[in-house]
Amino acid sequence: MKTISVRKNVLAENDLIATRLRERFSKNNIFVVNIISSPGSGKTTLLERTISSLNDELDIQIIVGDVQTENDADRLRKAGGKAVQIQTNGACHLDARMIQKILEGMKFDGPGLLIIENVGNLVCPASYDLGEDVKVVILSIPEGDEKPLKYPAVFHRAGLMIIAKTDMLELSNFNPQAAYRNVAQINPSIKCIQLSAKTGEGMPSWFEWLKDNVAKKISS
Amino acid sequence: MKTISVRKNVLAENDLIATRLRERFSKNNIFVVNIISSPGSGKTTLLERTISSLNDELDIQIIVGDVQTENDADRLRKAGGKAVQIQTNGACHLDARMIQKILEGMKFDGPGLLIIENVGNLVCPASYDLGEDVKVVILSIPEGDEKPLKYPAVFHRAGLMIIAKTDMLELSNFNPQAAYRNVAQINPSIKCIQLSAKTGEGMPSWFEWLKDNVAKKISS
């Protein structure tokens, strides 16, 4: 019982900080995406391609969370992106306080796009509001089409599901229609995009989705 | 600070229960494997094949952990296995108390093999001793060869790393030698097996590893 009440306090404190972050992002016309997925679903490759395609059109800043290593932020900087790394040192998710702290050292006044690449984990990051406008969940083809049923919290809270690595579709028994049926049971209003960062298939839909949302944020 | 001390208490209590479980398993000559991986790395498919190949030689019982659904235990029972499901209802890992509780309803007196398929998550399950003889970490080809560096705790604590889905090697830029180098930095004594449950490549090494360990357990 003690553990549960401490956990509730932690989440309440997190939500308070997240609310303040959200107000700040809105004031500065920054559209914020919190990307959540399993390890190895291709988040960083997707972001490399996103940077090279949209860097001229949008002001993009990326915050990358990992348990250990700076590898991902390094990769994104090499791709031309503005990226900072949070190493959680064992923690299985980012929280709002980590975002608040790293923002202190960043110059990002908007308008633009802030992408937060969460720790690779389909469970824990779902509970932590980071002040984002929308959670994006990535489900990669090799993981299997039943995952929305097995990890419902993150699929329930996401506004967009990206089915990634469609180049691997032929080698797998992943059925996109089954994935859509499964996610609709959990979250009937979720939007879905299928793409492959490797072949480029479907990437324009993702770019349009980002650009539309940044434009809406600025005009709101 | 309060959260940290509560977490320490939770882990200390878990370890106490795990120690009792380990004594009981040893007394009954049951070799216990705790399998940890990302969602969708192919744990359940590997276990389906393991059951169909080893069910005549070994007494095998499987405990499957998932946040939601009974799908995996259903699949394993269809493959001819004795499988029970723990639904964690949101929790991101199995703990020793869950194992202790589900054992009360099971008749499994040994000698034999108990396989625990943990919740799909490379972070949190690493901290929870379930009374197992050995943790087995699965790294599937589509996830990428750098994962041991990014999720060091589980690779550090595992006795065996399975590189799975080798049938996908050609489509990916996964370099098995890089994966070995990376895991050796974290855990120089870890054993490694490469396999594909789909094509059967490498499966005999996994079967031999299991049979050898069960035999050692019985003779110890």
pLDDT in tens, A169-218: 998 999 999 999 999 999 999 999 999 999 999 999 999 999 999 999 99
Can you tell me whether residue B106 is helix, strand or coil?
A: coil
- Rounded distance, CA B79 to CA B77, Å? 5
pLDDT digits (tens, 9 = 90+) for B107-141: 898 899 999 999 999 999 999 999 999 999 999 99
Residue B183 CA from chain centroid, whole number: 17
- Rounded distance, CA A25 to CA B92, Å? 30
- Rounded distance, CA A85 to CA A72, Å? 8
Instruction: Give ∠ CA B114-B118-B120 in degrees, rounded to 5.
Output: 150
| Interface ipTM | 0.89
- Percentage of chain A beyond pLDDT 90 is 90
Average pLDDT estimate for A80-95: 95
Q: Which of A2, A38, A94, A182 to mutate to test the interface with B (most CBs of B within 10 A)?
A: A38
Whether the Cβ atoms of residue B69 and residue B191 lie closer than 8 Å to each other: no
Q: Which of B121, B143, B146 sits opposite A121 (nearest CB)?
A: B121
Q: Is the pLDDT of residue B175 over 80?
A: yes
**pTM of structure:** 0.93
Q: Is the pLDDT of residue B3 over 70?
A: no
Can you tell me whether residue A75 is helix, strand or coil?
A: helix
For A137-191, the DSSP string reads EEEEGGG-TTHHHHSHHHHHH-SEEEEE-GGGTTTS---HHHHHHHHHHH-TT-E
Distance from CA of A78 to the nearest CA of B (A): 17
Nearest CA in chain A to B151: A67
Q: Which of B71, B74, B127, B150 to mutate to test the interface with A (most CBs of A within 10 A)?
A: B150
Q: How far apart are the first and last CA of chain B?
A: 43
Q: Which of A38, A90, A150 sits opposite B67 (nearest CB)?
A: A150
With CB atoms and an 8 Å threshold, state whether A151 touches B67: yes
